[in-house]
Structure 1
Amino acid sequence: MGVGTALADALRAAAQETGVEQVFVDMQRVAFFDSHGIAGLVAGYEAAHSAGRRFSVTNARGMVKQILDVTGLAEVLCQDAH
């Protein structure tokens, strides 16, 4: 299983937890981010949205922030994007 799949699975599970209102993904210590990571975040966002929960990516900096900006995902996923 790849990292993107593991991320997606973990975020889907978090979104389904009883009592969870919001899923946060703290990207502060992320050193590498690619299309697999994007897919994992999008899967987590979709799972949270489908379950009626909020989803936020926080502390996106450097390369991670650039990728989220270029793809247009920062506006959707990042509470601290602006």
Structure 2
Amino acid sequence: MSRSKTDKPSALVATRPDPFRAAFQQTVELLIQRRADLLSETAINAYVDCDWLTWRGGSLKLTTTGENICAQLRNKARLHARA
């Protein structure tokens, strides 16, 4: 069965709500602290499906898309701090 255009990760990213994006910051912090064990399998699968995280050598790593999402979240936080 082939994937439809709306099933592609880029389409999934566009439809994700802000709480999903906001939770990604906490996920990244846990990865930095090497505490991926505290992440739910559901969250991991969702971020992998969106191409924000990938499995590399048995470890979760940020993808380029994930790095871009983090940068967007940091910029959004800076804008809110200035307001």
TM-score, with structure 1 as normaliser? 0.31
Larger of the two Rg values belongs to structure: 2
Q: Which has the higher helix share?
A: 2
1 or 2 for the larger relative contact order (CA 8 Å, sep ≥6)? 1
TM-score, with structure 2 as normaliser? 0.31
